[in-house]
Structure 1
Amino acid sequence: MRTSTVRRVGLCVAVAAALTSVAACGGPDKDDSGKGAGHGGSVVNADPVAALLTVQKKTGAASSAKVEGTTTMGSTMAMKQSGALDWSDGITGAMKITYTGGDMADSMKQLGSDGSMQARYFKDGYAADMGAALAKQTGGKHWISYSYEELAALGGASGAAMQEQMQNTSPGEGVKGLLASGDVKKVGKENVRGVTATHYSGTVDVAELTAKNSKLDAEQLTALKKQLGDAGITTEKIDIWVDGNDLLVKKTERGQMKTGELNSTMFYSDYGTKVSVERPPAGETIEFKELLKQQQGATAGAS
């Protein structure tokens, strides 16, 4: 049961990573082609910092968008995600997450899952549909509900940072990170899924970026920097692509962890799309805190 509990904690982090990668993680640079809408590059001739301030403002004001992408976190996980998010008043939305490799994919298989799950995000937490594998262990309940406050308490300094990031996640946060890098450069015009976009690039010191963009106190920041250092993360390279309406259409980030490369590519489209999400039925949901208590009790009984 101890191993199962570890898997549950790991999976909650994985679902969180699917959301936070919308704003920050890592990823390679590459050109893309396909269907899209919009043309131009109104920020091409502007100063990079001034242009990105406009992009951040307009992207934030757009309030919602469809999102899809891929994320890899060393040997821990590789996943793809797609859905729609609204950030007009906290974060709400729904995403389909599929684990394609790493320890998380192995854990999902061991739990009897095909590696896919549905995640629903709310202002105070999120829920993940773990399917029949979980329902067999919980009397038919296949959703796990996670409270941001409980996860923050569980994760210490990193948990507090995750809570803050998840409750403020938006495509504009990726622009904010690039602005904080201090060395943003305009690369030029490129094609992103049929859209002519302006490419910007920069490198961020992860610990310093967190300090600039968070409201954590000095003690929490010191602990978080230590945890980042222990994970082997020092810098991230951020690249973004902006359309002619000054809206973010693509973001990639790349860094290095002790377990391997930290890497993410995200695409944004259909800004202003309507997002509607409902909490799963109470009778089909178990609180993460309650699940941990059950498994810890079973572990104690078996010892």
Structure 2
Amino acid sequence: MKRVMVAGAVVAVVTGLAGCTSGGTTDGPPTEKHSASHRSAADGDLRAAERATGRAGSARVEATTGVGTSISLTSEGTLAWGDGLTGTLTITYTGGTLADTMRALGTTSMEARYLPDAYYARMGDKFAAQAGGKHWVKYPWDELDELGGASGAYAGEQIRSATPNQSVTFLLAADDVREVGRERVRGAQTTHYSGTAHVSDLDDTELRETLERAGVSTQTVDIWVDDRDLVVKKVEKGVAATGELTQTAYYADYGTEVSVDKPPAADTQSFKELLAQQGSGD
């Protein structure tokens, strides 16, 4: 198999799991509007949401993601963020050029496991047969830069920031954060907040430098918070070297138990090993 085929699949996995997010419609129209002069009140509400969502520690996630014309996908599973990011998602590729690459390798969906050292992606039998016989590809967090330069770094940061409390933190950095109004999301009454943060204003130095390296100058965030101060929906939009990155995510079952096993070592290879193998012509 040509190296570019495997490399394309690797990029599809990383980019697809990035989780930087998009539009989507709300489940009901706003019933009340507030001006930017209510910034201080919105900040107080968002601080409460940040604390409540952080304390909950885990949730069930459903998301749709698009990366320009490269890929679109859905993801579903559970994530926990109390001590680093852990969890399991099922990723289904629904369109785009990289999805075509994945389908050519016999993979239309896969299982992704998030662990403190790395995340792991289980590929299909056809992929394994052409890539050393192992099904699981390991992506250590600190090696993502080497996969795709700035885009790889951005993907890694977005994966680690896929939890709902992180979206609140990002929204708090927005100069124009505002309460949009009361809206119904999947049957629940929520308050909708929106804002656009300038990356240069972020207090998190590592995140700021990663986003700047990827060519991201602003990121727009919308969240919907229920009456328990928990984020039940988030929408994010950003533009990087790879194009527009969009996602809509829904969160439910806060506090759910999340248990993740590391894939068997005998059936796992790192993406470095995979690319080295293909580069040698094996």
TM-score, normalised to structure 1, is 0.81
Residues matched between the structures, number: 272
Q: Is the 8 A contact 1:185 1:201 kept in 2?
A: yes
2:264 to 281, 284, 288: 281
Q: Using the alignment, how far apart are the partners of 1:161 and 1:256 within structure 2?
A: 11
Q: How big is the shift at 1:6?
A: 2.6
Report the CA distance shift for 1:155/1:92 in structure 2 as closer, same or farther (over 3 A).
same
Report the CA distance shift for 1:191/1:61 in structure 2 as closer, same or farther (over 3 A).
same
Report the CA distance shift for 1:237/1:15 in structure 2 as closer, same or farther (over 3 A).
closer
1:50 to 44, 52, 59: 44
2:121 to 125, 128, 131: 128
Runs of 4+ in structure 1 over 4 Å off:
153-165, 256-260
Q: Using the alignment, how far apart are the partners of 1:52 and 1:69 within structure 2?
A: 22
Report the CA distance shift for 1:256/1:282 in structure 2 as closer, same or farther (over 3 A).
closer
Indicate yes or no: 2:22 matched with 1:31: no
Aligned partner of 2:204 in structure 1 is 213
Q: How big is the shift at 1:169?
A: 4.3
Aligned partner of 2:139 in structure 1 is 146
Q: Using the alignment, how far apart are the partners of 2:246 and 2:181 within structure 1?
A: 22
Q: Is the 8 A contact 2:150 2:213 kept in 1?
A: no
Aligned partner of 1:199 in structure 2 is 192
Q: Using the alignment, how far apart are the partners of 2:252 and 2:267 within structure 1?
A: 32
What are the Cα deviations for residues 146-174 of structure 1, in whole angstroms up to 9, with x where unaligned?
Answer: 11122234445555555455445421110
Q: Which runs of 5+ in 1 are unaligned?
A: 34-43
SS of 2:45's equivalent? helix
Superposed, 1:1-303 pairs within 5 Å as 1-17=2-18, 21=19, 25-32=20-27, 47-113=41-107, 115-156=108-149, 159-160=152-153, 162-167=155-160, 169-205=162-198, 207-208=199-200, 211-215=202-206, 221=209, 225=212, 227-228=214-215, 233-256=216-239, 261-298=244-281
Aligned identity (percent) is 45
Q: Which runs of 5+ in 2 are unaligned?
A: 29-37
Q: Using the alignment, how far apart are the partners of 1:99 and 1:284 within structure 2?
A: 23
Q: How big is the shift at 1:281?
A: 1.6
Q: Using the alignment, how far apart are the partners of 2:270 and 2:214 within structure 1?
A: 27
